[in-house]
Amino acid sequence: MDCTHCGAPVRDDGAFCSHCGSRLPRPESPAPAHLAATATERFERARSHPEFQAACNHVPVVPVANEFARPLLLIAVAIGFSAFFRSMPGPPEAALINAFVTGIVLVMIGASVVMLVRAQSFRAAPIVHDIMVVIDERVAVSGGDDRRTRTTYFATLQDQDGLRSEHRCEGWLAGRIAAGDIGVAFLKGDRLVDFVRIEV
C-alpha cells in the first residue's frame, strides 16, 4: 500500500509511514460471522418466511424405545453373569468369589437403574420448538484402544434473545446442520432431536 500523506510505498502491517512518520489508516475489520448470522433482522425474516409455519408444524420422530434398550440389556447381562457363576461348582474360597461377583452384579444393576431413570425422564419430557441459529458444533470421542469408540455430537444454538445453549444430538442430525443455519429447533429435554432449516 502507499502512504496517504506522502505517497511512498509502505508495508501493509505497519502503523506509521517509514518515510514521513504519518499514521497509516487501517482497514475496518469485518464483523464476526456469528453477528450477521444472529442479527435480529434475520430472525424476523425467518418468522415471516412462507415455510415458517410448516416448519413449526413438523413432528420429529424420536425413537424413545432405544433409550431403554441399553439399560435393560445391561440388567439381562448382570443376571446371566450372576446365574452362570452360581451354577459352577466352587472351590473352598467360593464365598469370597460369590461376594466379588455379587458386587459386580450390583454395580451393573445400579448403573442400569440410573440409565432407566434418565430414559424415563427423557421419554416424559415434552418436545418444544423455537427459531434458533446454529452457532457451533463439536464432537466428543470416548473409548478407543481396546474399547469400542463412541462419538457424541453436540450443537450450540442461540435464540433471538441472545441466549446460547449446547445440546446433544444424533450423528445424522449433526451432519445435516452447519454453523450459521437458522430454522426451527426441536428440543426434548437437553437434546436437539430435529432442526428444520429456513432459507433466508
**Residue 30 banded pLDDT, cuts 50, 70, 90:** very low
Q: Amino acid letter at 104?
A: I
Residue 129 to residue 164: CA distance in whole angstroms: 15
Going by pLDDT thresholds of 50, 70 and 90, the confidence category of residue 69 is confident
CB 153 within 8 A of CB 137: yes
Quick check: 31 pLDDT over 50?
A: no
**Is the pLDDT at 199 greater than 50, yes or no?**
yes
Coil, helix or strand at residue 139: strand
pLDDT-above-90 percentage for the chain = 41
Side-chain-side CA neighbours of 123 within 13 Å: the count stands at 12
11: confidence class by pLDDT, cuts 50, 70, 90: low
More confident residue, 72 or 139: 139
Residue (of 120, 109, 117) closest to 73 by Cα position: 109
- Rounded Cα gap, residues 161 and 125, in angstroms: 23
Residue among 131, 136, 186, 185 at smallest CA distance from 160: 131
- Which one, of 80, 5, 62, 83, lies nearest residue 188 by Cα? 62
Contact 50, 193 (CB under 8 A): no
Q: How far apart are CA 55 and CA 58, in angstroms?
A: 5
pLDDT confidence of residue 43 = 95
